[in-house]
Amino acid sequence: MKSFLFLLMMTAVLLTACKKDQPATTPQPGSETPQYALQLNVSAFSQSTGAIDSHTPAATGKAAPLSDKIRYLLYRVWDANTTDGIKNIFQRSSVDTGFGQILDTLPSGRYIITILASKDSLFNGTTTDGFDDVLPSSDIFYKRLEVSVKGAVNQSVLLDRYVSKISVLVKDRIPYDVSYLTLKVQDSNDFTRPAYFHLLTGEISNGVMGSHYYREWTIPIPDSLKGTTNFRFETYVLNTSNSLIDLYFTGKDATKNRIVSGKSVNSVRLENNKNTLLTGTLFDNYPGGNGVTVGVNADWGRDSILVTF
C-alpha cells in the first residue's frame, strides 16, 4: 500500500512539473500581465521629402517637421502570429498637443505596428484594413514595423512617402462658358487603379473590380478665373514605384452635361516621391499643343518630371 501511495505522489509531482514547463501564450493588452511602455516619435520623413513640395531639391534622408507635412496619423497594432488587429491610436494635429508622439503600453510578445499619416483626412480612427484612393487624394506616408516587446521601447520612426504628385498648368484662356474642369486617370498598361491601400502590409492593389479608372474628379472654376490663363491644380496618386498613366481632361458648362473641350494625355510617367508637372493647352488651338513630350525640369532636377501637352 505504501509503495502504491508513493507512486501516486511521484506521478502528481511529475505532472505538476510538466505543466510548469509549458510555454505561456502571448498575453493580450488589457490582461493582468506586466505591461511595458512603448514610445514612438514620428518626427521626420525619409527620402527626398522636400522634392515633391518645392522647387528646391532636398537631400536624401533630410528630416522635415511633422506639422509641415501631415495633419492626421493612425497608429495600429497587430498580433504578429495571427495578424489580428489589437488597438488603434488616432491623432489629429489640430487637437492633439503631442501630435506625432505615440505613447502606448504592451505586454511581452511579437507585434506588427503600422503608422499611416496624411495631409488630408482620407481615413479615421476606425480604419481597420485600408482605404480606397480617391482623387484629389492626399500626401500619404507609411511605415510598417515588426517589434518583439521584452521591455520598454523608445525609438524614432521615419515614414516613407507612398504617393506621386501630379501638377497641371493650363496655359490657355479658360472660356467663359466653362464652369468645371474634370480629370480622369487610367493606368496605361494594367488594372491596378484606382488603388486600394492595405494597412497591414503596405501593399497597393486594385480597389474597384472590373474598373481601371479613378472616379472622375470635378474642379469648379470660379467666375473670377474665367477668361484668364495659367490655371493651376494638383492631385496625388498612391504609387510606390514607376508607372505610366493616361489622363483625360474635359471642360464642362454649368449643367455639367455639355462638354466644351477635351483632351487626353497618354503614357505619363509617375515615380514614387516625385512631382510630375504637366503644362499645355486645353481649349485654344495652340501650335504644338498636340502629343506628349517628356523631359526633366531643370528647376526640380532629378526630383521632377515635365510633360507638355
Predicted confidence at residue 228, as pLDDT, reads: 92
- Helix then strand then coil, % of the chain, to nearest 5: 10, 45, 45
- Assess contact for 108 and 34: CB atoms under 8 A: yes
Predicted confidence at residue 59, as pLDDT, reads: 38
Predicted confidence at residue 149, as pLDDT, reads: 93
Give tens-digit pLDDT for 165-178.
Answer: 999 999 999 999 99
Higher pLDDT among residues 49 and 273, named by residue: 273
Asked whether the domain spanning 164-308 has the same topology as the one spanning 35-161, the reply is: yes
pLDDT of 223 over the 50 cut: yes
Average the pLDDT over 229-238 and give the result: 92
If DSSP states are collapsed to H, E and C, what string results for 50-106? CCCCCCCCCCCCCCCCHHHHCCEEEEEEEECCCCCEEEEEEEECCCCCCCCEEEEEE
Predicted confidence at residue 14, as pLDDT, reads: 33
Which three three-digit cell numbers place residue 213? 479608372
pLDDT of 68 over the 80 cut: no
Average the pLDDT over 76-91 and give the result: 93
Predicted confidence at residue 296, as pLDDT, reads: 31
Average the pLDDT over 232-241 and give the result: 89
Q: How many CB atoms lie within 10 A of CB 126?
A: 8
Q: What is the pTM of this model?
A: 0.75
DSSP letter assigned to residue 294: E
Task: Parse the chain into domains and list their residue ranges.
Answer: 35-161, 164-308
Q: Class for domain 164-308, per CATH?
A: mainly beta
208/212 Cα distance (integer angstroms):
7
Residue 297 pLDDT level (bands cut at 50, 70, 90): very low
Predicted confidence at residue 114, as pLDDT, reads: 95
pLDDT of 16 over the 80 cut: no
163/165 Cα distance (integer angstroms):
7
Higher pLDDT among residues 306 and 86, named by residue: 86
* Domain formed by 35-161, architecture: Sandwich (2.60)
Predicted confidence at residue 196, as pLDDT, reads: 80
pLDDT of 204 over the 80 cut: yes
